[in-house]
Amino acid sequence: MQNDHASHASTGQPQTVFQKAVSDVLAQRLEAIALEVRAMGSEHAGIFAGLDSLGLIAAVLQGTLRKIDEIFDLNGIVFSPACSLLLELFQARTRGGTISYTSLCESVNCSTSVAGRWINALELMQLVEMTGEVDANRKIALTERGTLKCIEALKLLL
C-alpha cells in the first residue's frame, strides 16, 4: 500500500504538517541565501556554488515551477509564451493600463498567430480580457483574477 504522505528521512515515518512546513521554509531560505551569494557579484561568489548547493537550488527551482503550474492550473506554463504574455500584462498593469495586441506580441517576441492562441486560452481561463475592435487597436489587460494569480506566482520568487 502506497503512503500519500512524505516520509521523514531518518525514521521512515510520515512527515507531520509542521515538519513539511519547516522543510518548505528551509528550502526557501536556502534559495534566498543562494540568491544573496549570487548577487554579491564578486569574483569569489562562485566558490559557494558547489554541486550540492546547485543541486539544492535545482530542487527549489523545480518545486517553485511546479507551484506556479498549480497556481495557474496549467502544467508547463512557465515554459510557454503564456508566461511571457502574463508577465508583460502584469507590468502594463503596474504602469496603470492596458497594452495593445500588437505591442504585446512585439514585446514578447511572439508571432501574432501564436500569441493570439495563447491570449484566447488565457481569456477562457479568465486571466485576461480584451477590449476594443478586432484589429491593431484591440487592448488586452489582466483581469483581477489574473492579477492575483500573477502576484501569487511572483511572490514565490522572492
Residue 1 CA: distances (Å) to CA of 4, 6, 13, 16: 10, 14, 14, 19
What is the domain count for the chain? 2
pLDDT along the chain (158 residues), means of 10: 46 62 69 64 58 76 90 92 93 89 86 89 95 79 95 89
Q: Is residue 11 part of a domain?
A: no
Quote the domain boundaries for residue 60: 17-72
Pick the last residue of a domain from 55, 72, 89.
72
Pick the last residue of a domain from 72, 99, 114.
72
Cβ contacts of residue 5 below 8 Å, gap of 6+?
Answer: 14, 15
CA distance 90 to 147: 7
Q: What integer pLDDT is reported at residue 132 of this predicted model?
A: 81
